[in-house]
Amino acid sequence: MKNIGLAIFVILLLVGCENNKSFKNSLDNAQISESDIEYFQNLVGDTVLFTVDQSGLRPDAISILNAQVNWLKEKKFLPITIEGHADEQGTREYNLALGARRATAVREFLLAKGIERDRISIVTYGKERPLRVCSNEDCWSKNRRAVTVVGKKIVE
Amino acid sequence: MVRHSVLKFLKIFSFTSILFINFSFVAAQKNDAPQLDMTVNKGVIKPISLAVPSFIKESGANSIISRELAKVISNNLDSTGLFKSIPQSAYVSMPLSFNTPVQFSDWSIINADVLVMGSVGLKPDGRLEVKFRLWDVSQQKEIGKGKQYFTNSESWRRISHKISDTIYTRVTGEGAYFDSRVVFVSETGPKDNRTKRLAIMDQDGANFRLLKHPPSLVIAPRFSPTTNKIIFTGYETGKPRVYLMDLSSEEITSLPELKGMSFAPRFSADGSQIVLSMTENGNTDIFISTLSTGVKRRLTTNNAIDTAPSFSPDGKSIVFESDRGGGQQLYIISTQGGDAKRISFGKGRYATPVWSPRGDLIAFTKIKEGKFHIGVMRIDGTKERLLTTSFLDEGPAWAPNGRVLMFFRETPGKAGAPSIYSIDISGRNLRKIKTSSFASDPNWSPILN
């Protein structure tokens, strides 16, 4: 719902812009700075989705992660935690392991693109923290996710 | 009435071993062999008809306890599906004294097979004295010897469970399981913002109590078989990690050797070791850790997901699930390491294997064609039987006698939530355990001392 709401918001901004101003200027007008964490969450995209029982990065995930890399390289002081999640169609322990695979796949991508290792924590939640609550593919596809949480580091 | 021996009944369920339990505070019965015949018809069991009059009140006991003792015993035995209590309203007489001869005609006329006679009195020092005798109505003879219990009055419920265990063991030949507890996860709140708390209750759902711990997410508590401790996975640091809790003090200890992401712990049968999963660089493997030394060793090393390990009762083997062959399947590996042997070969995915305390069976979760099942198979993977099916049945836990399983069933959709169920390993007698909140991840204690 959040994403849909945001999409509508952005469309309204674009429609409302005079002289075909750039997308970025529209956002400036709305006072969301590119350096804000909300900008990262909503406009860069903090979430990538996965196929059932898979932890491989899909093309849609890679394009989001490339954008994440660009943003994260500008904010070198910010730690990040990558949360891996699974949908409810698996058993608890397996889903914890699967979530760890997904979070690790994202971490490996970020590392390969030059994000510093000591900035990144990973955690798995398995099926413990669903974003969407229906029991069909509409929700499951949104719950199979890895979320890059900016500004959070897990200290053990 | 066609009468077959209890041995025939046992044969139907392929049971050979019989477990005897010695009580710590009464003289053990030397001769607890099954004594009553059962009626078996094409595999359908006619329950044994049971009469449990309210216990006879002796010096100073109150009538609530005398009624409740009988009620808890009836509920326990009825819950097995092997007994059926006759309502007290159908009785033609009530026993007036514990020592007067039983009027068997009063019990045969209402078709009672078994009569439980009990008494309860309050001693001057404040202890309860509970006595009971068990009668075979048609044979007009006593089954085993009478027993006498002394306890403080708060523990009357446990005496009911002890008596239930004695009746169950004497009549069916199966091991005891009523005087036991279940630790589980109590769940409240909406599906996308669930609060999970560790909780404990008696096996019949009584004496529900939340355990104290930090508010962060908790998963899958498991009893120590030898000490009053549980082990569980918690997110206090932000990552899943294995912790011990002493149930008397509710004090929580972290295990330094399990830093990183650790989960799915279970004790060995002697309580000295735990087996668990740890995730390093995205890869989840099985480890064994010795509690006294904090020394852990790796048992599996491949790139697959190896998780949900469970010790064999003799401590020599571990059953676990792995997707090393493509999908989740069950494997057995020696606790000394070496090659793992795959034991499940059916279609679908197999998960959460748990070794029976009797050693003969492995219970598991199976996912096939979008449905979840609880099933059992022999330790060589043969004789697979699925006992349940639903949108989501998961996480079987063995009763201490290896005869009954608990698991949790989650309903689908926005309002979907888990509840704990029990089922006999014959596949009969599916029952929902009443809990005051949603409930998942049950684990059964050993018989209490």
- Residues B105-124 have pLDDT tens digits of 999 999 999 999 999 999 99
pLDDT band at A33 (very low <50, low <70, confident <90, very high): confident
- Give B392 or A16, the one with higher predicted confidence: B392
Backbone phi and psi for residue B278, each to the nearest 5 degrees, phi listed first: -130, 145
What mean pLDDT value characterizes chain B?
Answer: 90
Cross-chain Cβ contact B239/A94 below 8 Å: no
**Burial class, B365, CB count within 10 angstroms (exposed 0-12 / middle 13-18 / buried 19+):** buried
> Does the structural domain B6-172 have CATH classification 3.40.50.10070?
yes
pLDDT at position B449 is 81
A124: contact with B, CB 8 A cutoff: yes
State percent of chain B over pLDDT 90: 84
Q: Above 90 in pLDDT, residue B16?
A: no
Nearest CA in chain A to B196: A128
Residues of A in contact with B256 (CB under 8 A): none
Chain A within 8 Å of B284 (Cβ-Cβ)?
yes
Asked if the C-beta of A104 comes within 8 angstroms of chain B's C-beta atoms, the answer is yes
**pLDDT at residue B20 tops 50:** no
Residue B377 near residue A101, CB atoms below 8 Å: no
Residues of chain A above pLDDT 90, percent: 69
Q: At what angle do helices B156-172 and B63-79 cross, to 10 degrees?
A: 40
Q: Average pLDDT in the B245-259 region?
A: 94
Neighbours of B249 (CB within 10 A): 9
Where does chain B hold its CATH 3.40.50.10070 domain(s)?
Answer: 6-172
CA-closest candidate to residue B180, choices B158, B163, B199, B197: B158
Q: How far apart, in whole angstroms, are the C-alpha atoms of residue A142 and residue A135?
A: 11
Q: First vs last Cα of chain B: how many Å apart?
A: 39
Which pLDDT score, from 0 to 100, does residue B309 have?
Answer: 98
> What are the structure tokens assigned to B305, written together?
């997901």
Site of tokens 């330790």: B379
Residues 204-243 of B with CB under 8 A from A: 217, 219-220, 237-240
Measured between beta carbons, which residues in chain B are less than 8 angstroms from residue A122? 282
A34-150 CATH fold:
60s Ribosomal Protein L30; Chain: A; (3.30.1330)
Q: What is the reported pLDDT for A20?
A: 41
C-alpha A71: how far from its chain's center? 12
> Are residues B328 and A124, on separate chains, in Cβ contact within 8 Å?
no
Q: Do B307 and A90 touch (CB under 8 A)?
A: no
Of the two residues A151 and A26, the one the predictor is more confident about is A151
C-beta neighbour count of B210 within 10 angstroms: 12
pLDDT at res. B29: 38
Query: Residue A94: which of B237, B238, B328 has the nearest Cβ?
Result: B328
Q: Mind listing the pLDDT tens digit for each residue in B391-440?
A: 999 999 999 999 999 999 999 999 999 999 999 999 999 999 999 999 99
Chain A residues with CB-CB distance to B305 below 8 A? 94, 97-98, 101
Q: Where are the domains of chain A?
A: 1-31, 34-150
**C-alpha dihedral (B20, B23, B28, B30), degrees to nearest 10:** 0
Contact of B114 with B48, CB cutoff 8 Å: yes
Q: Which residues lie closer than 8 Å to B425 by C-beta, 6 or more apart? A: B13, B361, B363, B376, B387, B402, B403, B404, B405
Tens digit of each residue's pLDDT (9 = 90 or more) over A60-110? 999 999 999 999 999 888 999 999 999 999 999 999 999 999 999 999 999
ipTM value for the complex: 0.89
Q: In 10 A of CB A34, how many CB atoms? A: 13
Question: Using CB atoms, which residue from A93, A104, A134 is nearest to B307?
Answer: A93
Whole-number Å distance between alpha carbons of B114 and B142: 10
Smallest Cα–Cα separation from B373: which of B356, B354, B387?
A: B387
- Is A133 within 8 Å of B394 when comparing Cβ atoms? no
Chain A positions in Cβ-Cβ contact with residue B264 (cut-off 8 Å): 93, 96
| HSE (side-chain half, CA atoms, 13 Å) at B375 | 24
Residues in chain A with CB shorter than 8 Å from the CB of B413 are 133-135
Cα separation, B334 vs B311, whole angstroms:
10
Contacts of A10 (CB under 8 A, 6+ apart): A23, A26, A43
Q: Which of A91, A96, A133 sits opposite B192 (nearest CB)?
A: A133
Considering only CB atoms, A100 lies closest to which of B279, B308, B321, namely B279
- What gap in Å lies between CA A18 and CA A33, rounded to an integer? 20
Parts of chain B belonging to CATH 2.120.10.30: 181-444
* pLDDT (average), residues A130-152: 96
pLDDT tops 60 at residue B2: no
Q: Would you call B308 and A93 a contact, using CB atoms and an 8 Å cutoff?
A: yes
Check CB contact under 8 Å for A128 and B219: yes
B83 in Cβ contact with B48 (< 8 Å):
yes
Helix (H) or strand (E) holding B74: helix B63-79
For residue A90, the chain B residues in CB contact (below 8 A) are 351, 367
Name the DSSP letter for residue B248: T
SS (H, E, C) B335-393: CCEEEEEECCCCCCEEEEEEECCCCCEEEEEEEECCEEEEEEEECCCCCCEECCCECCE
B43 pLDDT band (50/70/90 cuts)?
Answer: low
**Partner residue facing B413 (CB), from A104, A129, A135:** A135
Which residue of chain A comes nearest to B328, CA vs CA?
A94
- Could you confirm whether domain B181-444 is CATH 2.40.50.140? no
Question: Is residue B214 very low, low, confident or very high in pLDDT (cuts 50, 70, 90)?
Answer: very high
**Closest Cα partner for A87 from A46, A143, A36?**
A143
| Cβ–Cβ contact A98 with B under 8 A | yes
Nearest to B216 by CA among B246, B190, B191, B185: B185
Tell me the chain B residues in contact with residue A98 when contact means C-beta distances shorter than 8 Å. 305
Q: What is the DSSP string of A1-29?
A: -HHHHHHHHHHHHHHH-GGG--HHHHHHH
Tell me the average pLDDT across A14-24: 41
Residues of B in contact with A92 (CB under 8 A): 219-220, 352, 394-395, 441
CB B405 within 8 A of CB B363: yes
Q: Whose structure tokens read 């005897």? A: B20
Which residue of chain B has the CA closest to A100?
B282
What does the alpha-carbon distance between residue B80 and residue A21 come to, in Å, rounded to a whole number?
74
Residue B134 · residue B167 · CB < 8 Å: yes
* Candidate from A88, A98, A107 with C-beta closest to B305: A98
